[in-house]
Amino acid sequence: MSFKDLAPWHSQSRGQKTELAPFFSLQNEMNRLFNDVFSGFSMEPFSKRGAAATVFSPSIDVTEKEDKLLVKAELPGIDEKDIDITLTNDHLVIKGQKREEHEEIGDNDRRYVERSFGSFQRVIPLALEIDEEKVDASFKKGVLTIVLPKSAESKTSARKVSVRGA
């Protein structure tokens, strides 16, 4: 008895593999066809995007500069009146709603929708003191820009901390 006879991946003879080859190729072709049909519209039953694709969550950039924190949020298709910004001691909260547009479609029309609608909330933790009286927000071309000036305490430069031995 040789090693090939003991190894599980060599347990079938070449003849057995050849006999099953048409079935394997048929199964592979069927899998490819089903994947092509369902992946064209990202409608797989367990799609990677799944239910999260229907929820709107804006992309946010946060930049810390020497004297301020700059927050930018992409909010395309949202009206200025549908945005609410709240500043607490340690968080910046951006809430809003992207309203769904309704349009009539005929009986023979088909529709495929990728856009997301609904309410959203993004909470950004603030690890520094903000001068709340000077906070400013602007909304232009679908981009919300929030300027959060640092308070005098936060602007102090870093200090050296010495390490002492045990």
pLDDT tens digit string along 132-143?
A: 999 999 999 999
How much is the pLDDT for 47? Answer: 39
How much is the pLDDT for 146? Answer: 96
pLDDT in tens, 26-82: 887 777 777 666 555 544 443 334 444 456 788 999 999 989 999 999 998 889 999
How much is the pLDDT for 158? Answer: 63
89 vs 60, more confident: 60
How much is the pLDDT for 157? Answer: 57
Contacts of 71 (CB under 8 A, 6+ apart): 60, 61, 62, 63, 92, 94, 124, 144, 145, 146, 148
C-alpha separations of 126 from 61, 62, 70 in Å: 14, 11, 12
pTM of this structure = 0.58
Contacts of 84 (CB under 8 A, 6+ apart): 93, 94, 95, 96
Percent of residues, the chain, with pLDDT higher than 90 = 32
Q: What is the mean pLDDT of the chain?
A: 77
Identify whether the C-beta of residue 50 lies closer than 8 Å to the C-beta of residue 42: no
Is the Cα dihedral 36, 37, 42, 48 positive or negative? Answer: negative
CA distance 55 to 116: 6
* Tokens standing for residue 166: 């045990």
CA distance 71 to 57: 15
